[in-house]
């Protein structure tokens, strides 16, 4: 080959190499952009005034950081399930990469998820209702089996001699709360509907209703609150009725005030559903499913159990999930005077 031809060939090779390099850069950029475009949304039924959800949100934020994916949190300000349905419809329209939701009312949430399912957007459910999550086609459910938790609480109360109680239900349209009341009632052998008060969320209103109820039902032995804010109202109502120390009080969920009440002997126990796990593991599970391109719940669970970042978070806050098939049980565990210390440090933020 003569020199001019050789030089021409060299120039052609360089042009081809440059083109290949540019193609590689473009391809790599596109792949990274696809990963960067991932965005999840978490939709809950928690109202703005319900501070219990702050712990769920803390878990969500930590998982967002650990798995490098942004997550939006959406909720109806008043806790209205109808508004939550509209938020889910908006989530489908915005084409999120994954949707995480609570299921306070199966029929309504199923309707709200119509667009999500039509677009085949991956779904994870949290909080109460593992059966509902499965019916909705969720990849996984992270939460507490509410009837079982209520029944376990009722068995503790029965062992303490309780056979008549009041269940203070602050969310009459939320099936999980009815399940808690029913489980407790079944354990002690009473009709849960007759034993349940529709209280609303406002602790001041609950205080007034509980005091009036105790005055008109003097044989009441125990009160079950279904959330920490509501338990505060219950304690004040018991005091107003002049029955402090005479009514057996138990509650679902934790807050610093609840732990103080347990320490003071005003509350027998609190049921801890480890809400941080619901926020953290739902985002982690969704991220793993999309990263590994799988809808195999067993594979997702295995990845969760092996992930070092997940393990570090659980160890730091002394959290203990139970992995079973397509669900992760975050509770129940029981907090009493005997095991307060490990929980007090993180109550209201990570526990």
- Distance between CA atoms of residues 87 and 48, nearest Å: 15
| pLDDT attached to residue 130 | 81
CA nearest to 332, candidates 194, 195, 200, 179: 179
Q: What is the pLDDT of residues 180-226, one digit of tens each?
A: 999 999 999 999 999 999 999 999 999 999 999 999 999 999 999 99
Strand ranges, E, within the chain:
40-43, 71-74, 98-102, 123-127, 140-143, 165-169, 196-198, 222-225, 248-252, 269-272, 322-324, 327-329, 333-335
| pLDDT given for residue 31 in this prediction | 33
- C-alpha dihedral (115, 277, 226, 258), degrees to nearest 10: -150
Question: Do residues 145 and 329 make contact, with C-beta atoms less than 8 angstroms apart?
Answer: yes
Nearest CA to 276 out of 325, 335, 327, 319 is that of: 319
pLDDT digits (tens, 9 = 90+) for 112-168: 999 999 999 999 999 987 889 999 999 999 999 999 999 999 999 999 999 999 999
The pLDDT, as a whole number, for residue 1 is 52
Taking the C-alpha atoms of residue 336 and residue 307, their distance in angstroms, rounded to an integer, is 31
Residue 180 · residue 157 · CB < 8 Å: no
How many degrees, rounded to 5, is the angle at CA 229 between CA 224 and CA 235? 55
What pLDDT is attached to residue 14? Answer: 47
The stretches in the chain having pLDDT less than 50 are 2-10, 12-35
């Amino acid at each position: 080959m003569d020199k001019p031809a050789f030089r021409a060939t060299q120039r052609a090779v360089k042009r081809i190499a440059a083109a290949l390099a540019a193609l590689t850069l473009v391809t790599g950029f596109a792949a990274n952009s696809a990963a960067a475009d991932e965005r999840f949304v978490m939709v809950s039924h928690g109202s703005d005034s319900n501070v219990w959800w702050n712990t769920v949100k803390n878990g969500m934020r930590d998982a967002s950081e650990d798995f490098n994916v942004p997550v939006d949190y959406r909720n109806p300000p008043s806790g209205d399930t109808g508004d939550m349905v509209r938020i889910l419809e908006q989530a489908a329209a915005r084409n999120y990469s994954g949707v995480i939701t609570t299921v306070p009312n199966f029929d309504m949430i199923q309707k709200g998820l119509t667009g999500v399912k039509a677009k085949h957007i991956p779904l994870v459910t949290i909080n109460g209702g593992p059966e509902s999550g499965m019916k909705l086609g969720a990849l996984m459910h992270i939460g507490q089996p509410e009837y079982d938790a209520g029944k376990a609480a009722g068995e503790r109360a029965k062992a303490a001699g309780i056979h008549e109680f009041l269940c203070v239900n602050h969310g009459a349209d939320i099936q999980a709360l009815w399940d808690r009341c029913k489980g407790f009632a079944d354990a002690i052998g009473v009709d849960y509907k007759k034993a349940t008060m529709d209280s609303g969320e406002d602790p001041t209103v609950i205080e007034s209703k509980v005091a009036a109820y105790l005055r008109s039902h003097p044989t009441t032995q125990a009160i079950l609150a279904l959330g920490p804010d509501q338990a505060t109202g219950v304690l004040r109502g018991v005091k107003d009725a002049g029955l402090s120390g005479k009514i057996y009080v138990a509650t679902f969920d934790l807050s610093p005030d609840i732990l103080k009440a347990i320490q003071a002997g005003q509350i027998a126990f609190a049921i801890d559903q480890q809400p941080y796990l619901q926020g953290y593991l739902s985002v982690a599970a969704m991220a793993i499913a999309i990263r590994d391109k799988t809808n195999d719940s067993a594979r997702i669970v295995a990845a969760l159990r092996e992930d070092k970042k997940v393990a570090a978070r659980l160890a730091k806050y002394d959290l203990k999930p139970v992995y079973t098939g397509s669900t992760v049980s975050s509770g129940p565990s029981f907090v009493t005077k005997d095991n307060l210390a490990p929980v007090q440090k993180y109550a209201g933020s990570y526990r």
